[in-house]
Amino acid sequence: MTNRFSLESRELETFMGQMVVICPRCGGRADVMEKANEVRLSCFQCGYLQMKQSGTKYIGGAFDVHFRLPLYLQTGCCGHVLWAYNQEHLAYMRQYVEASVRTSDGANRSIESRLPKWMKQKHNREGVLRAIKRLELACEKG
């Protein structure tokens, strides 16, 4: 079994250093950053600022893990919600989906990834890539 998938399999946790969320005050684009033991929410548009101590993390949905605010990068896709913590996370998903296109020339290879199963299904591929593109455009606009 050769490992033709060259991207490293990354844990979701490695994308949590900075998360882009919807500002609770103005609905604009805000950042959630964790440094040392402190979490900081700051809005680019209205200047809203909120700090708290790091604590329980709420992992696995379209919200940030500290304040549980809705993620800025989320969109409906194939009957699911495709979401990313930040642009790096989004780029990782695109690379993954594009790479799995290139390696789909033979028998089913099991590629190690933390992405949800529906994102890896062949019949969803086009829809997933379109959704990622939409979010990339949203990043550029913001």
- Interface with Zn ion by CB under 5 A: which range of 7-15, 44-52, 70-78, 99-107? 44-52
Look up tokens 């020339």; give the residue.
105
Amino acid letter, residue 29 = R
> If binding is defined by CB under 5 A, does position 26 make contact with Zn ion?
yes
**Counting contacts by CB under 5 A, is residue 65 touching Zn ion?**
no
**What is the identity of the amino acid at 9?**
S
- Positive/negative CA dihedral, 137, 139, 140, 142: positive
Q: Which is nearer to Zn ion, 25 or 120 (CB)?
A: 25
Work out how close the CB of 114 gets to Zn ion at its nearest, in angstroms, rounded to a whole number: 31
Among 16, 41, 43, 84, interactor with Zn ion by CB under 5 A: 43
For Zn ion, the binding residue among 14, 38, 46, 114 (CB under 5 A) is: 46
CB 19 to Zn ion: min, Å? 15
- Pick one of 23, 41, 65, 135: the residue that binds Zn ion (CB under 5 A): 23
Query: Which DSSP helix (H) or strand (E) runs through 115?
Result: none
Please name every residue paired with 81 in a beta bridge, in sequence order, or none if there are none.
76
Instruction: Answer for the pair 46, 57: CB distance below 8 angstroms, yes or no.
Output: no
Contact 129, 75 (CB under 8 A): no
Single out the residue of 5, 48, 67, 118 in contact with Zn ion (rule: CB under 5 A). Answer: 48
CB contact at 8 A, 83 and 19: no
Q: Which parts of this chain interact with Zn ion (CB under 5 A)?
A: 23, 25-26, 28, 43, 45-46, 48
